[in-house]
């Protein structure tokens, strides 16, 4: 059975809604139907929900210097809920965040789950330097060494979802920081990446100034982002 696709969207945030609509539109170009998934935010008290699910929430305190812990918890809960959906439906799920942009066709072996083991990154790394492999296809996480550089686009199977949930019960943090080869050696990556990212705003990261004030760190104007105009994608 083909994977279901979801895009995590903050319905109360105009920028998030517009960005998600653009992702859905770019997905349509390649025959991909993407469903909207309403994100958890601090208004939902995500830390309490995670704790009730048996998730170790202590890690969210450790990232307060650079990120808003309650917002990061909401993001994590959104991803975890979709992991649970993969288990419930017993099918692979493709998860996108609102700043994802589809720039190429996603291979059928990703959509039907036959081409990866448990979880595969399909998005270009969202920040910092990354490596370009000398092959095409799927292999163990290769682009950024010790962890995912953003969780804006990946596919996950029920077996991977169960593994991540069990890991989160032991220790957890921001979603991308949880995805590390030392705790999840099954992490894989697809190249070339069919999904880019255009993070013009952030609801999680603090600014770069004193006490987290100033311009948010993720602006989309710098860093290793694919030039979207090369793929006919406008930046509304």
pLDDT digits (tens, 9 = 90+) for 3-55: 999 999 999 888 889 989 999 999 999 999 999 999 998 889 898 999 999 99
186: burial class by Cβ within 10 Å (0-12, 13-18, 19+)?
A: middle
Which residues, in sequence order, are bridge partners of residue 156? 93, 119
Q: Tell me the pLDDT of the chain averaged across its residues.
A: 81
Using the predicted structure, report yes or no on whether residue 230 has a pLDDT greater than 50: no
State the pLDDT at residue 128. 63
Residue 13 has a CB neighbour count (10 Å cut-off) of: 16
Query: What radius of gyration, in Å, describes the C-alpha atoms of the chain?
Result: 17
CA 64 to chain CA centroid, Å, is 20
Q: Once rounded to an integer, what is the mean pLDDT over residues 70-84?
A: 91
| Calpha distance 142→133 (Å, rounded) | 7
State the pLDDT at residue 15. 86
Q: Once rounded to an integer, what is the mean pLDDT over residues 53-73?
A: 72
pLDDT tens per residue across span 178-225? 888 888 889 999 999 999 988 665 544 434 333 333 333 333 333 344
Q: Please report, in angstroms and rounded to a whole number, the separation of the first and last CA atoms in the chain.
A: 35
State the pLDDT at residue 108. 96
pLDDT tens per residue across span 124-136? 887 667 788 888 9
Tokens of 130: 């990354």
State the pLDDT at residue 188. 95
State the pLDDT at residue 194. 95
State the pLDDT at residue 204. 43
């Amino acid at each position: 059975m083909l994977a279901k696709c979801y895009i995590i969207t903050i319905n109360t945030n105009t920028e998030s809604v517009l960005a998600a609509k653009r992702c859905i539109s770019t997905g349509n170009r390649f025959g991909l139907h993407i469903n909207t998934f309403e994100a958890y935010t601090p208004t939902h008290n995500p830390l309490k929900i995670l704790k009730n699910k048996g998730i170790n929430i202590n890690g969210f305190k450790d990232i307060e210097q650079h990120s808003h812990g309650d917002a990061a918890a909401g993001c994590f809960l959104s991803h975890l809920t979709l992991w649970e959906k993969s288990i419930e439906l017993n099918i692979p799920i493709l998860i996108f965040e609102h700043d994802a942009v589809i720039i190429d066709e996603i291979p059928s072996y990703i959509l039907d789950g036959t081409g990866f083991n448990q979880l595969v990154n399909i998005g270009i790394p969202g920040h910092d330097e990354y490596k370009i492999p000398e092959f095409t296809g799927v292999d163990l996480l290769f682009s950024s060494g010790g962890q995912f550089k953003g969780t804006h686009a990946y596919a996950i199977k029920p077996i991977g979802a169960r593994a991540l949930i069990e890991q989160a019960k032991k220790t957890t943090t921001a979603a991308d920081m949880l995805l590390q080869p030392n705790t999840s050696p099954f992490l894989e990556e697809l190249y070339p990446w069919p999904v880019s990212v255009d993070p013009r705003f952030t609801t999680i990261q603090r600014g770069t100034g004193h006490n987290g004030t100033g311009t948010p760190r993720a602006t989309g104007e710098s860093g290793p982002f694919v030039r979207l105009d090369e793929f006919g994608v406008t930046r509304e």
